[in-house]
Amino acid sequence: MKILISMLILLTLVVPSVSIPESVQMGGYNLSFDIGQNALNISLPTEISTETLDGTPLNQSSVTITGNDKCIMVIGVGKSSRMATSDIKHEMKEMLKNTVKTEAPVYDRTIDGHDGAISNFEGPDDSNWYSAMWLMNNTTGVFVMSSYPWDEGTLSFLKTIHIEKDIK
């Protein structure tokens, strides 16, 4: 009986610290991931149809994740008849240079089973940011910006993110 009571006490101490994987549907895709934290706020997906500078149609969907620690993560999925080149590191370097005005180093990283790239840079308020990008196929790319610390959300997300086409 003492063993049973001890196990129950241990379970009550362990269970609250276990995070629950999240699942989000956006832009015709199902995303699943685990940031390793509970009490996440996930925005409703934002979807826009636009075009690139050369006139190629582009459909984009994004969600924003916030937690109790004032960190933020934005996940975007873009679909176009012509996505970026297969040189994802070059694409990320150009994106960082043009959007956040940094020339931070970019590293190769496999994300969700795809060749991708990741970078770490300092934000305007001296905060630490991570950016990741990968192509799911020739027409679909994924982009992530995260201010979650590496070992407190970003790494867990990158290791657990999985995106599938919605079969509806």
CATH number at residue 68: 3.40.1000
What would the DSSP string read from start to end of 23-37?
EEEETTEEEEE--S-
- The pLDDT score that the predictor gives to residue 103 is 87
Query: What Å distances lie between residue 72 and 8, 12, 120, CA to CA?
Result: 35, 29, 15
| Residue 10 within any structural domain of the chain | no
Does 51 fall in a domain? Answer: yes
8: in domain:
no
Residue 10, pLDDT score: 34
Residue 83 falls within a domain, yes or no? yes
Show the domain range for 29: 19-165
Number of domains observed in the structure of the chain = 1
Q: Using an 8 Å Cβ cutoff, are 76 and 54 in contact?
A: no
Tokens of 47: 């979807």
Output the pLDDT for position 6: 38
Q: What are the average pLDDT values for consecutive 10-residue runs of the chain, which has 168 residues? A: 39 43 85 83 89 85 85 88 71 87 92 95 88 89 93 94 84
Q: Is residue 132 part of a domain?
A: yes
In a domain, 135, yes or no: yes
pTM of the shown model: 0.80
